[in-house]
Amino acid sequence: MRRRSEPHTFEQRLDAHRLRLEHELSGLPDGHLRDSVLARLDQLQTAAEMYGFLMLREEATAPR
**Which 3-state string (H, E, C) describes 35-64?**
HHHHHHHHHHHHHHHHHHHHHHHHHHHCCC
The pLDDT, as a whole number, for residue 64 is: 66
The pLDDT, as a whole number, for residue 58 is: 82
Rounded Cα–Cα distance for residues 1 and 50 (Å): 39
Rounded Cα–Cα distance for residues 50 and 53 (Å): 5
Q: What is the pLDDT of residues 1-52, one digit of tens each?
A: 777 777 789 999 999 999 999 999 999 999 999 999 999 999 999 999 999 9
DSSP 31: S
Contact (Cβ atoms closer than 8 angstroms) between residue 28 and residue 39: no
The pLDDT, as a whole number, for residue 7 is: 78
The pLDDT, as a whole number, for residue 3 is: 73
